[in-house]
Amino acid sequence: MDHFGRNKIKDLLKSHESFVGNNVIVKGWVRTKRGNKNVAFIALNDGSIIHNIQVVVDVQNFDENILKLVTTGACLKVHGKLVESAGSGQKVEIVAESIEIYGTADAEIYPLQKKGHTMEFLREIAHLRPRTNTFGAVLRIRHAMAFAIHKYFNDNGFYYIHTPVITGSDAEGAGAMFRVTTLDAANPPKKEDGAIDFVQDFFGKPTNLTVSGQLEAELGAMALSLVYTFGPTFRAENSNTPRHLAEFWMIEPEMAFYEITENMDLAEDFLKSLIRYALENCYDDLEFLNEMYDKELIERLKSIVNVDFERLSYTRAVEILEKCGEKFEFPTAWGSDLQAEHERYLVEKHFKKPVILTDYPKDIKAFYMKQNDDGKTVRGMDVLFPRIGEIIGGSQREEVYEKLYSRMKEMGVSEKELWWYLETRKFGTAPHAGFGLGFERLILFVTGMSNIRDVIPFPRTPMNAEF
Ligand code: ATP
Ligand code: MN
Whose CA is closest to atom 8 on ligand 1?
390
pLDDT of res. 3: 58
Q: Are 255 and 362 in a shared domain?
A: yes
Q: Is residue 121 in a domain?
A: no
Ligand 1, atom 2, lies closest to the CA of 390
Nearest-CA residue for atom 26 of ligand 1:
244
> Helix-strand-coil percent breakdown of the chain, rounded to 5?
35, 25, 40
Q: Are residues 97 and 163 in the same domain?
A: no
Domain co-membership, 135 together with 77:
no
Is residue 305 within 8 Å of 445, Cβ to Cβ? no
Point out the ligand nearest to the CA of residue 357.
2
Per-10-residue mean pLDDT for the chain, 467 residues long? 83 94 97 96 98 98 96 98 90 97 96 92 96 98 98 98 92 80 96 95 96 96 98 92 96 98 98 98 98 97 97 98 94 94 96 98 96 98 96 98 96 92 97 98 98 98 93
Q: Residues 294, 324: one domain?
A: yes
Interval 287-323: pLDDT, tens = 999 999 999 999 999 999 999 999 999 999 999 999 9
Pick from 240, 441, 449 the residue to mutate for probing ligand 1's pocket: most ligand atoms within 8 Å of its CB: 441
Q: Is residue 399 part of a domain?
A: yes
Angle (CA) 117-119-122 rounded to 5° is 70
- β-partners of residue 435 are 394
Cα-Cα-Cα-Cα torsion 432, 162, 169, 412, nearest 10 degrees, comes to 20
Ligand nearest to the CA of 439: 1
85: in domain: yes
Our answer on whether the CB atom of 392 is closer than 6 Å to any ligand 1 atom is yes
- CA-proximal residue: ligand 1, atom 24 (nearest): 244
Distance 294 CA to ligand 1 centre (A): 24
Does residue 434's CB lie within 6 angstroms of at least one atom of ligand 1? no
One domain for residues 229 and 366:
yes
pLDDT, tens only, 16-53: 889 999 999 999 999 999 999 999 999 999 999 999 99
Ligand 1 pocket, residue 357 CB under 6 Å: no
SS3 196: strand
Answer whether residue 244 is part of any domain.
yes
* 313-321 long-range Cβ contacts below 8 angstroms, 24+ apart: 313/357, 313/358, 313/359, 313/377, 314/338, 314/357, 314/358, 314/359, 314/360, 314/361, 314/377, 315/359, 315/377, 317/342, 317/346, 317/355, 317/357, 320/346, 320/350, 321/345, 321/346
| Residues 20 and 100 placed together within one structural domain of the fold | yes
DSSP letter string, 69-112: T--TT-EEEEEEEEEE-SSSS-SEEEEEEEEEEEE---TTT-TT
Domain encompassing residue 69: 9-110
> Could you tell me whether strands 389-396 and 432-438 are parallel, antiparallel, or unpaired per DSSP bridges?
antiparallel
In contact, 356 and 381? CB cutoff 8 Å: yes
DSSP state of 213: S
pLDDT of residue 410: 95
- Distance, in Å, from the CA atom of 103 to the CA atom of 108, rounded to the nearest integer, reads 15
Q: Which atom of ligand 1 is nearest to the CA of 390?
A: 18
Q: What's the confidence (pLDDT) of residue 173?
A: 67
Q: Whose CA is nearest to atom 29 of ligand 1?
A: 244
CA angle centred on 235, ends 230 and 236, rounded to 5°: 155
Q: Residue 238 has what pLDDT?
A: 82
Q: Answer whether residue 29 is part of any domain.
A: yes
Which residue, judged by its Cα, is nearest atom 12 of ligand 1? Answer: 393
What b/e readout covers 323-343, taking b as 16+ CB neighbours within 10 angstroms? eeeeeeeeebeeeeebebebb
The rounded distance, in Å, linking the Cα atoms of 51 and 285 is: 9
Residue 190 DSSP label = B
Secondary structure (3-state) at 225? coil
Mutation test residue for ligand 1: of 210, 240, 244, the one with most atoms within 8 Å of CB: 244
Residue 1 has a pLDDT of 64
Average per-residue pLDDT for the chain: 96
Do the beta carbons of residue 361 and residue 318 sit within 8 Å? no
Residue 152 lies in a domain: yes
**Residue 408 has what pLDDT?**
95
- State the amino acid at position 114 in one-letter form: K
Kindly give the distance from the C-alpha atom of residue 369 to the centroid of ligand 1, in angstroms, as a whole number: 16
Give the tens place of pLDDT for each residue, 433-446: 999 999 999 999 99
Q: Which residue minimizes the CA distance to atom 11 of ligand 1? A: 393
CA of 272 from ligand 2 middle (Å) equals 20
236 and 271 housed in the same domain: yes
Choosing from 110, 139, 160, the residue where a domain stops is 110
Asked if 95 and 146 sit in the same domain, the reply is no
333 assigned to some structural domain: yes
Residue 78 sits in a domain whose CATH number is 2.40.50.140
CB 419 within 8 A of CB 236: no
Last residue of a domain, one of 54, 76, 110: 110
User: What's the pLDDT score for residue 114?
Assistant: 86
Q: Is residue 188 part of a domain?
A: no
The response to whether residue 250 sits with its C-beta less than 6 Å from ligand 1 reads: yes
As for how many domains the chain has, the answer is 2
CATH of the domain at 427: 3.30.930.10
Q: How far is the CA of 434 from the centre of ligand 1 (A)?
A: 15
pTM for this structure? 0.96
Q: Does residue 407 line the site of ligand 1, with CB under 6 A?
A: no
Interval between CA 240 and ligand 2 midpoint (Å): 17
Is the domain of 137 the same as that of 246?
Answer: yes
- How many A from CA of 383 to the centre of ligand 2? 9
Same domain flag for 367 and 232: yes
| Domain shared by 30 and 146, yes or no | no
For ligand 1, whether the C-beta of 436 sits within 6 Å is yes
Strands 226-234 and 159-160 come out as: parallel
Q: Is the CB of 443 under 6 A from ligand 1?
A: no
One domain, residues 106 and 149: no
C-beta of 248 in contact with ligand 1 (< 6 A): yes
Count the Cβ atoms, other than its own, within 10 Å of residue 35.
Answer: 13
